[in-house]
């Protein structure tokens, strides 16, 4: 199907929409949410499934062909399977993925796959129970590992495992994660810690450059670069030189920004469009939608919003201002 391509003012085609379906979460990863009581958005402020589908259809009509369901923890939202099924059925959509902490995945992965979910990314930052508890505030490593197994068994291939590397917190586990990738045949992707945390604990010294992690793994398990044709792919990918299964990827937004090829846009659970993870402004499409906007009004609003997409983030500039909303509210 020949669909139009929506381009921003820097000529970047917008292909990838991340939809946060809730700001709630059952974990309290310290780099994402505070440990004290969170103030959740009241239910009426959260987009209904009907509204999400309406907006997703407009985006897909404008050339978006990748959708990712995220949160907060998306699996906390009731009847997620029905949403996935409806998103997967939008004509013109070619890739439907989800990011989850996998706590609730056992028993549901098959239905999600049947409903049209093609890929899954599971977040896991430590392979030892004690450290996992410290990082997430929950003693549930076993549930996440079981969730990863259930995703593999359901054939959600490749299963990607996202690990945020932080100096002095979990960087000693880089090689263990590589062993995990080889043993399970999953794609482990190390993400540089970004200043999007609620506790404002981010410090540049805590960021482990992806290159440092790669060198550490390479010493034990030599790696070979996987060349990707997809310029907008965020991860630099490597395979094991000895042919072992699994892959290692590095998402280096701090030390090797990829803004020049960014094809992403975000819809928050409360109906705001964000043109960059680090935007300090949001665009209220929910208000427009709920005021009885026509399909054409929505198209016009989205096109005008995409025009405003930032050229790049400013994490590395002295004038950088951390966004007010954290990752759990924006949707990672």
Q: Which chain residues interact with ligand SF4 by CB under 6 A? A: 25, 27-29, 32-33, 71-73, 101, 123, 327-328
- Burial profile 108-125: b = 16 or more Cβ within 10 angstroms, e = fewer: bbeebbebbbbbbbbbbb
25 binds ligand SAM (CB under 6 A): yes
Min separation Cβ 25 and ligand SF4, Å: 3
Exposed/middle/buried for 296, CB within 10 Å: 0-12, 13-18, 19+? exposed
Q: Hunting for tokens 């990082």 — which residue is that?
A: 135
Task: Check residue 194 for interaction with ligand SAM (CB under 6 A).
Answer: yes
Nearer CB in complex with ligand SAM: 101/272? 101
Query: What gap in Å lies between CA 140 and CA 137, rounded to an integer?
Result: 9
Q: Which is nearer to ligand SF4, 61 or 323 (CB)?
A: 323
70 touches ligand SAM by CB under 6 A: yes
24 vs 309, beta carbon nearer ligand SAM:
24
Number of H helices, E strands in the chain: 10, 12
In the complex, the smallest distance separating the C-beta of residue 295 from ligand SAM, rounded to whole angstroms, is 30
Q: Which does 148 bind (CB under 5 to 8 A by kind): ligand SF4, ligand SAM, none?
A: none
**Two structure tokens written together for 219:** 């010493």
Q: Which does 28 bind (CB under 5 to 8 A by kind): ligand SAM, ligand SF4, none?
A: ligand SF4
Strand spans (E) along the chain: 16-20, 66-70, 95-100, 119-123, 159-165, 187-192, 223-226, 236-240, 247-251, 264-267, 272-274, 283-284
Does 16 interact with ligand SAM (rule: CB under 6 A)? no
CB of 99 to ligand SAM, least distance (A): 4
Q: Which does 193 bind (CB under 5 to 8 A by kind): ligand SAM, ligand SF4, none?
A: ligand SAM
Q: Per rule CB under 6 A, is residue 99 in the interface with ligand SAM?
A: yes
Residue 197 interacting partner from ligand SAM, ligand SF4, none (CB closer than 5 to 8 Å by kind): ligand SAM
Q: Return the CA Rg of the chain.
A: 19
Q: Per CB under 6 A, does 250 bind ligand SAM?
A: no
CA gap 214, 210 in Å, rounded: 6
- Tell me, rounded to whole angstroms, the distance of Cα 238 from its chain centroid: 20
Binding site for ligand SAM (CB under 6 A): 25, 31-32, 70-71, 73, 99-101, 123, 162, 164, 191, 193-194, 196-197, 327-328, 332
């Amino acid at each position: 199907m020949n669909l139009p391509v929506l381009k921003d003012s820097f000529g970047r085609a917008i292909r990838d929409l991340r939809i946060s379906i809730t700001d709630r979460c059952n974990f309290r990863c310290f780099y994402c949410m505070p440990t004290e009581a969170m103030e959740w958005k009241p239910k009426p402020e959260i987009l209904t499934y009907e509204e999400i589908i309406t907006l997703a259809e407009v985006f897909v009509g404008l050339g978006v062909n990748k959708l990712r369901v995220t949160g907060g923890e998306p699996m906390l939202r009731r009847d997620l399977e029905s949403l996935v099924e409806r998103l997967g059925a939008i004509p013109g959509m070619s890739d439907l993925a989800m990011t989850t902490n996998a706590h609730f995945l056992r028993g549901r992965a098959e239905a999600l796959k049947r409903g049209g979910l093609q890929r899954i990314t599971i977040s896991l930052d430590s392979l030892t129970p004690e450290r996992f508890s410290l990082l997430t505030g929950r003693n549930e490593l076993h549930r996440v590992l079981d969730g990863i197994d259930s995703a593999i068994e359901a054939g959600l291939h490749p299963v990607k495992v996202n690990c945020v590397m932080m100096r002095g917190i979990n960087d000693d586990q880089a090689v263990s994660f590589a062993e995990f990738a080889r043993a399970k045949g999953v794609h482990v992707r190390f993400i540089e810690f970004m200043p999007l945390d609620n506790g404002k604990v981010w410090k540049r010294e805590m960021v482990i450059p992806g290159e440092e992690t790669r060198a550490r793994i390479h010493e034990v398990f030599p790696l070979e670069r996987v060349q990707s044709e997809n310029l907008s792919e965020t991860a630099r990918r490597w395979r094991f030189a000895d042919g072992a299964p699994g892959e290692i990827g590095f998402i280096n937004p701090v030390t090797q920004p990829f803004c020049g090829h960014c094809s992403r846009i975000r819809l928050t659970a409360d109906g705001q469009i964000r043109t960059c993870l680090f935007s300090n402004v949001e665009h209220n499409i929910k208000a427009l939608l709920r005021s009885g906007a026509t399909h054409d009004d929505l198209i016009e609003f989205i096109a005008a919003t995409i025009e405003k997409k930032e050229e790049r983030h400013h994490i590395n500039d002295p004038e950088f201002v951390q966004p007010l909303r954290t990752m759990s509210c924006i949707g990672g």
